[in-house]
Chain A
């Protein structure tokens, strides 16, 4: 079945708007046939990966480096870079940009960053100069083509904010999930192949989560009041997101009884943690998701009489913490594990997360030999500079950077046997699969991991002594709590 195209789309396909648009349209049409799409949608945002632009990919030495640095997407741009009329569709309002990549372009030679660092006694790592030059060449090419290579995980927060009902193409899963869930704009977890092509056409086949029927909730996940009142830290929200996705067995779900006033960071962490493993990047957060004012709306009008219901309890959250800390467990006793790297910001830290780290580290010193890394997007990076957060972090010996992220460096070539403490679910969950030999992980809230950067040793806070007790015992101990104390245990 052929897709219905608008006049302009048909003209692009016929080559009336130049070689590049025709080249991309042909490929998108093929894909449209495969997914049985009936029409195209216009896009407001395209998010994919910046290419490494190599003159000669076949040169054995370059090819070997590319195998380590390239995700596989770079060569897709080669035919487009050869075309004279290549320009993205930004004049029609499609903002096109990219995920982070492996260096902050103006600090390549500086030490103590993921692209150039040393762990005493374990080894060092520095990115390859040729790859940096080629990345810069790719970045410049994209600028020429009208891209806005923002190198950020979350442009939806501050760079191009899609509105309800608009369409986007994000090959960053966490961004796709946020755009669908919080903004009610529509995107698939898009293929990085398609996002190269649809940037130049500004449109793509309508399929998957673009369509109402594929956005419908299939079940309900409800939070216990105890969960609602005690989930506080960034890592808690990650664990909560993971529990929600697990309860729904990675199907789209409607979520009830969420905490009020979620911060930007909490929202991002909750959602990005539900996204790995969920092929349909969508949650209906009741009271938050604009397109789902009621459960009927979340089920898109097909709500069964008794929808499946699941409960998330505090025990689930604790179990998820334990699971994450056992995926690639760091060596050392339970109460004190030495750390090498403490990292915050995957997906890129929001401004409230950066501020939190600055507040926790202010006036303290990062222990010699330990790295404290905060990674964020460009607007937040400059805000942090403006408002003193950068100074607080750097005075303490930590580093804050933008445009890049540790996982986008050739992480497999880091020194062996390093211990990384993070508040990012994504790092632990995905990183446990692609670190260097012997890389181990600790998952904890910013309070405890920033403290680990200061002492060099990760110690869970008193909060866990409380939560590890059986429920009855916990509730009994609450009775002895003087009224003027905070009603919930300290976060750790």
Chain B
């Protein structure tokens, strides 16, 4: 379901612009990192994103061969095995090649539980479509203080 909402006025400076979105926190926490945006459904299972190195393995996916390590990963919703939940946990907590946070149009429950176990923030139901609003390389800050409550996503784009 594509949302077409006009971008709201942003604070312009000479170097960068800022966009603030609000959504719902599905896993609590704070994170600030570079965004990695997937235009298609995405999954965390070990056959999609390597557990030992965090590299995107699946042929034909955006960012194939790149690493998700330390990024805030933006994707519409999940695809693939339920083991994505524990593979996400493994990457964050054990191999230290996990993402810093998740942003989805609509996050699927097993990704929520993976994010909670990994203690990284996860946000969905934003007031603008994150897939089109956030661009690769933007610096994104998630502030999600409490599960089920309002969360903010601040996007900083270098001009």
A contact set with B: CB distance below 8 Å: 1, 27, 30-31, 33-36, 49, 57, 63-64, 66-68, 70-73, 75-76, 171-173, 188-194, 207-208, 276-277, 279, 430, 433-434
Q: Which residues of A contact B87 (CB under 8 A)?
A: 71-72
Known: A63-B94, A193-B114. A71 touches B86 (CB 8 A): yes
- The yes or no answer to B52 lying at the interface (CB within 8 A) is yes
**Size category, B interface:** 35 or more
> Cβ of B79 and Cβ of A193 under 8 Å apart?
no
Say if the beta carbon of B128 comes within 8 Å of chain A: no
Tell me, in angstroms, the Cα distance from A30 to B112 when the chains sit together.
10
Per the bound structure, the CA–CA distance linking A481 and B116 in Å amounts to 64
> In the complex, which of the residues A68, A72, A192, A194 has the most CB atoms of chain B within 10 Å of its own CB atom?
A72
Chain B residues lying within 8 Å of A67, measured Cβ to Cβ, are 51-52, 90, 95
Given A34-B147, A207-B109, verify A191-B85 contact (CB < 8 Å): yes
17 residue pairs A–B, Cβ–Cβ below 8 Å: A27-B117, A33-B147, A33-B148, A34-B112, A63-B94, A70-B90, A72-B51, A72-B88, A72-B89, A73-B83, A75-B93, A171-B110, A188-B109, A192-B110, A279-B78, A433-B47, A433-B48
Binary flags per residue of B107-130, CB closer than 8 Å to A gives 1, else 0: 011101110110000000000000
Other-chain residue from A66, A171, A173, A433 in contact with B58 (beta carbon distance below 8 A): A433
- CA gap between A434 and B83 in the complex, in Å: 13
A207 to B110 Cα, complex, angstroms: 12
- On chain A, the residues within 8 Å of B95 by CB distance are 63, 67
**CA distance in complex: A72, B82 (Å):** 12
Chain A residue contacts of B116, Cβ below 8 A: 27, 30-31, 34, 193
CA A188 to CA B85, docked complex, whole Å? 14
A434 engages B47 (CB within 8 Å): yes
Q: Which residues of A contact B91 (CB under 8 A)?
A: 72
Q: How many A-B residue pairs have CB under 8 A?
A: 114
Q: A66 to B94, Cβ gap below 8 A?
A: yes
- Chain B nearest CB, measured from A271 CB (Å): 16
CA distance A191 to B113 in the complex (A): 7
Q: Is B26 an interface residue (CB 8 A)?
A: yes
Q: Which residues of A contact B77 (CB under 8 A)?
A: 279
Instruction: Tell me whether B110 and A189 are in contact (CB under 8 A).
Output: yes
Select one of B27, B57, B82 contacting A191, CB under 8 A: B82
The smallest C-beta distance from B126 to any residue of chain A, in angstroms, reads 16
Residue of B nearest to A2 (CB): B148
Bound-state Cα–Cα, A433 to B78, Å: 16
The answer to whether A34 touches B85, judged by C-beta atoms less than 8 angstroms apart, is no
B75 interfacial contact with A, CB 8 Å: no
Contacts A1-B148, A193-B110 known; list 11 others, CB within 8 Å: A31-B112, A67-B95, A70-B51, A72-B83, A72-B86, A72-B87, A76-B89, A192-B86, A279-B78, A430-B81, A433-B48
Interface pair B82/A171, CB less than 8 Å apart = yes
Contact B47 A277 (CB under 8 A): no
Query: Which residues does chain B contribute within 8 Å of A63, judged by CB atoms?
Result: 94-95
Which residue of A is nearest B82, CB measured?
A171
Chain B, range 21-46, C-beta contacts under 8 Å to A = 25-27, 46
Pair B113/A71 contact, Cβ less than 8 Å? no
Residues of B within 8 A of A188 (CB): 109
B90 with A72: CB separation less than 8 A: yes
Structural contact, A190 and B110, CB atoms closer than 8 A:
yes
Mask, B71-107, CB within 8 Å of A = 1, is: 0000001111111011111110111000000000000
For the complex, give the distance between the alpha carbons of A277 and B78 in Å. 9
Most buried by A among B25, B57, B81, B87: B81
